[in-house]
Each structure stands twice: as structure tokens, then as C-alpha cells.
């Protein structure tokens, strides 16, 4: 990727991320807000992930729980943004096979059981049919941790921006 292409790509990602707080506030209290946010981060105009799975690791309750899943072949397709059609989007996500598969994941906490993130990601990638997943872990409220598994597209991931964007999940009810 040439410099001008990288700059254009970074600009697109930052525009997408900058629109998120406004949308989070407009749908404040929505139960599946994490699905809305994950969908935005995975779209082509943002990080362009073909597949991603979001989990929360809660050592106090000894749970690693699946929160949301995104698979581009099952993504919400509409002329309007999914943020502007919350009922339709939520219905769509309840029908999305991959999202439901991720939400059914419930395991023992990574942190509480001294497992390595790498081995848990490897197990989850087999269960969820990821090929060569990348992942990020970040701290969230109440000494919990978020875990995002994702497949990269051909375009380079702007990892430092991704890490900052993942903290937006802290504004979602489940986190």
C-alpha cells in the first residue's frame, strides 16, 4: 500500500470510529449494543474484518462468555445504516448463525484458570471455524477483560487504532 493509500485508509477508519460515540448515545440502553458496535468495526469502511468474535472474560464469576459475532456473509444489508434501523438489525442478528454460535460460547475464565490467551484462541478458532485468527485483549470495567478474535482482510489493520476503538465496548451494557 502506498503512502497516499494508507493515509486515505486511515482517514476512512478514523471517520468511522468518530461516528460511533454519537450512535452509542442514541441507542443507550439497547441490550445488544455490542453487536451494533462490532458490526461497525468490522465493516469495509472501518477495519474490514471478514469474521470477528467478541468475548468478555470475568474472573470473579469464572466465565468467558461470547457476546457477539460478525461474519461478512451474514452481515446486515440495507440502504440505511444498522444504527438507524435498530429493530430490523436486532432481528437480523438474532437470526445470524455465526452470531448465535459465538453467543453460546461459555467457558471457564482465561485469567482465573491461568490459561494462555493463545491456547484459548486456538481452541475457539477451531470451534468457530476461524482460519489464522488474530486477537486482542484489553481491560474493561470491574477487572474484566475483553477478547476480540478476528480474521484480517488483505488490507493492513491499523492495530493502534483498533486497540483504542475496542475501549468503546466499555460503553455497552454487557461490559
Summarised one tens digit per residue, pLDDT across range 86-144 is: 999 999 999 999 999 999 999 999 989 989 999 999 999 999 999 989 999 999 999 99
Burial of 148 by CB count in 10 Å (0-12 exposed, 13-18 middle, 19+ buried)? Answer: buried
Write down the pTM of the prediction: 0.93
- pLDDT at position 160 is 76
At CA 142, angle to CA 51 and CA 159, rounded to 5?
35
Which pLDDT score, from 0 to 100, does residue 154 have? 63
Cell, residue 173: 451494557
Please give the backbone phi and psi of residue 23, each rounded to the nearest 5 degrees, phi first. Answer: -70, -40
Express as a percent the part of the chain with pLDDT over 70: 97
**Confidence at residue 155, expressed as pLDDT on a 0 to 100 scale:** 60
Amino acid at each position: 500500500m502506498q503512502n497516499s493509500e494508507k493515509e486515505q485508509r486511515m482517514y476512512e477508519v478514523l471517520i468511522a470510529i468518530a461516528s460511533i460515540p454519537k450512535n452509542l448515545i442514541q441507542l443507550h440502553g439497547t441490550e445488544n449494543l455490542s453487536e451494533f458496535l462490532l458490526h461497525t468495526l468490522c465493516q469495509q469502511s472501518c477495519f474490514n474484518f471478514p469474521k470477528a468474535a467478541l468475548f468478555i472474560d470475568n474472573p470473579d464469576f469464572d466465565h468467558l462468555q461470547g457476546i457477539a459475532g460478525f461474519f461478512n456473509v451474514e452481515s446486515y444489508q440495507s440502504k440505511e445504516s444498522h444504527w438507524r434501523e435498530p429493530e430490523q438489525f436486532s432481528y437480523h442478528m438474532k437470526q445470524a448463525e455465526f452470531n448465535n454460535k459465538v453467543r453460546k460460547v461459555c467457558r471457564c475464565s482465561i485469567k482465573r484458570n491461568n490459561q494462555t490467551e493463545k491456547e484459548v484462541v486456538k481452541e475457539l478458532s477451531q470451534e468457530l471455524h476461524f482460519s489464522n485468527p488474530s486477537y486482542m485483549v484489553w481491560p474493561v470495567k470491574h477487572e474484566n477483560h475483553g477478547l476480540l478474535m478476528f480474521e484480517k482482510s488483505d488490507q493492513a489493520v491499523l492495530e493502534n487504532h483498533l486497540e483504542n476503538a475496542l475501549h468503546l465496548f466499555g460503553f455497552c451494557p454487557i461490559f
